[in-house]
Amino acid sequence: MKNPKTLVRRTPWPETASRPVGTPLQPSVVYASESPDALDAQYEGRTRGYSYAREGHPNADVLAQKIDALEGAEGGIVLGSGMAAVTAALMGVLKSGDHVVGGDQLYGRSLRLLTQDLPRFGVTTGFAPVTDAARFAAALRPTTRMILLEVVSNPTLRVADIEGIARLARERGILLVVDNTFTTPRAIRPFEHGADIVLHSVTKLLAGHSDATLGYVAAQDPALRQKIRDFAVTTGLTPSPFDCWLAERGLYSFELRYDRAEATAAKLADALAGLDGVARVLYPGRTDHPDHMRAEILLGSRCGNMVTFELDGGREAANAFVRAAGDIPFAPTLGDIGTTISHPATSSHRALSPEARAALGITEGTFRISVGVEPAEVLIDEIATAVQATL
């Protein structure tokens, strides 16, 4: 290939006796094989190789293996978004006639998938509070095939009775699916608590830099794993190699980021609780959180990087707070390397009526802070100054 006859032929990669330290980025959509025999060998599993990027590519596999190691999983796959992971876990497994019970404070789009989309395919759904296994039991039907829950809910940070619900699921032969986005494997590894399927929005804490949209899903049972994978490949839930590359790079610092943000979150929660203008603070690590005992047992000291609090003054105070906290992005996400502030009443929970929000404990004064890695003193000072501006 010294002098190719046409520029259209690809030039081979230069020979090198050394290896790159950084993970290579491979954007190729297709992979060429040596011969039809070689392709047969690959499709029949005698050799390993890639063929077409929708079916898998190296950057997705490198990332999936890393998250597998964190979760204590095997054969997990990376998909194009957290919602792609939720969709694959549910639609790849359920069939018409099945019933699903979700936690009543699921992520907004997961709720929507359960209430609006699955019923169009003959899957019926119900909801129950995740803090109460008895009420979960009451929501089950003979056709219930799956339970979907998040360990810590948004934005009130309620902690699921995952042990009680996992016991129910086991007794009734129901699959337990856990969305571990908020908690991450740093706080809990749901497979060790009876989950059958674990999924993530990798977009959030795992990737950690708000520059890649990705999901992850892993199943304990190899047959389920295959179903989910086939559904994802057929429906094209494939991730971009570049996003996978970014997320894998983000993971190098995940544990450092998480630990730092979590330590700051605990300090911020205590600082907020002492401020005039703050009606209440919700942080599972505080003894005044309704699920503090369960958080201690389930998560130990790993109560996460999210802090929710309520301002005394309603919408007016909310506007004043966000304006005064100018340097901290007011943005509907979480898990970024830097702190972000969200206002559930106008973002994640805007579709609910004020009454429905009130039932969940969300008012016009409720804010959820996703704490980042900036120094605790800097952040606490910024937030306290912004709270002061609401008085």
Kindly state the smallest distance separating residue 266's Cβ from ligand PLP, in Å.
Answer: 21
Out of 131, 213, 340, 366, the only residue in the binding site for ligand PLP (CB under 6 A) is 213
Task: Reply yes or no on whether 37 is catalytic.
Answer: no
| Marked catalytic residue, from 66, 98, 107, 283 | 107
User: In this structure, how many other beta carbons lie within 10 angstroms of the beta carbon of residue 29?
Assistant: 9
Give the total of residues touching ligand PLP (CB under 6 A).
14
Nearer to ligand PLP, 112 or 267 (CB): 112
Out of 60, 83, 113, 360, the only residue in the binding site for ligand PLP (CB under 6 A) is 83
Out of 156, 184, 203, 264, the only residue in the binding site for ligand PLP (CB under 6 A) is 203
Which residue's beta carbon is nearest to the bound ligand PLP?
A: 82
Looking at the chain, which runs of residues are DSSP E strands?
77-79, 99-103, 124-128, 144-150, 175-179, 197-201, 215-219, 278-282, 306-311, 340-342, 366-370
Contact between 382 and 371 under an 8 Å Cβ cutoff? The reply is no
Out of 102, 215, 250, 285, the only residue in the binding site for ligand PLP (CB under 6 A) is 215
> What is d(CA 103, CA 151) in angstroms, rounded to the nearest whole number?
10
Work out whether 136 is an interface residue with ligand PLP (CB under 6 A): no
Nearer to ligand PLP, 81 or 390 (CB): 81
Nearer to ligand PLP, 99 or 200 (CB): 200
Contact between 147 and 162 under an 8 Å Cβ cutoff? The reply is no
Nearer to ligand PLP, 295 or 306 (CB): 306
DSSP 16-80: -SS--SSPPP---SB---S-HHHHHHHHTTSS----BGGG--HHHHHHHHHHHHHHT-SS-EEES
- Find the part of the chain contacting ligand PLP (CB under 6 A) among 15-23, 41-49, 81-89, 165-173: 81-89
Kindly state the smallest distance separating residue 80's Cβ from ligand PLP, in Å.
Answer: 8
Say how far residue 238 (Cα) sits from the centre of its chain: 17
> What is d(CA 98, CA 142) in angstroms, rounded to the nearest whole number?
9
Work out whether 216 is an interface residue with ligand PLP (CB under 6 A): no
Task: Reply yes or no on whether 54 is catalytic.
Answer: yes
Maximum Cα–Cα distance across the chain: 76
| Marked catalytic residue, from 54, 109, 112, 172 | 54
Nearer to ligand PLP, 107 or 367 (CB): 107
- Do the strands 366-370 and 124-128 form a parallel or antiparallel pair, or are they unpaired? unpaired
Work out whether 105 is an interface residue with ligand PLP (CB under 6 A): no
Task: Reply yes or no on whether 204 is catalytic.
Answer: yes
3-state DSSP helix/strand/coil percent for the chain, to nearest 5? Answer: 40, 15, 45
Interface map 47-66 toward ligand PLP (x if CB under 6 A)? --------------------
Work out whether 238 is an interface residue with ligand PLP (CB under 6 A): no
Nearer to ligand PLP, 93 or 334 (CB): 334
Which pair of tokens denotes residue 343? 């206002």
With tokens 């390397």, the residue in question is 337
Backbone angles phi, psi at 326, to 5 degrees: -35, -40
Contact between 147 and 194 under an 8 Å Cβ cutoff? The reply is no
| Marked catalytic residue, from 104, 179, 291, 336 | 179
With tokens 């999210």, the residue in question is 306
How many Cα atoms sit within 13 Å of 70 on the Cβ side?
29
Work out whether 241 is an interface residue with ligand PLP (CB under 6 A): no
* Residues in CB range of 345: below 8 A, 6 or more apart: 318, 357, 362, 363, 364, 366
- The footprint of ligand PLP on residues 253-312 (CB under 6 A) is none
Single-letter code of the amino acid located at 380: I
Task: Reply yes or no on whether 172 is catalytic.
Answer: no
- The footprint of ligand PLP on residues 142-201 (CB under 6 A) is 150, 179, 181-182, 201
Give residues in contact with ligand PLP (CB under 6 A): 81-83, 107, 110, 150, 179, 181-182, 201, 203-204, 213, 215
Positions annotated as catalytic residues are 54, 107, 179, 204
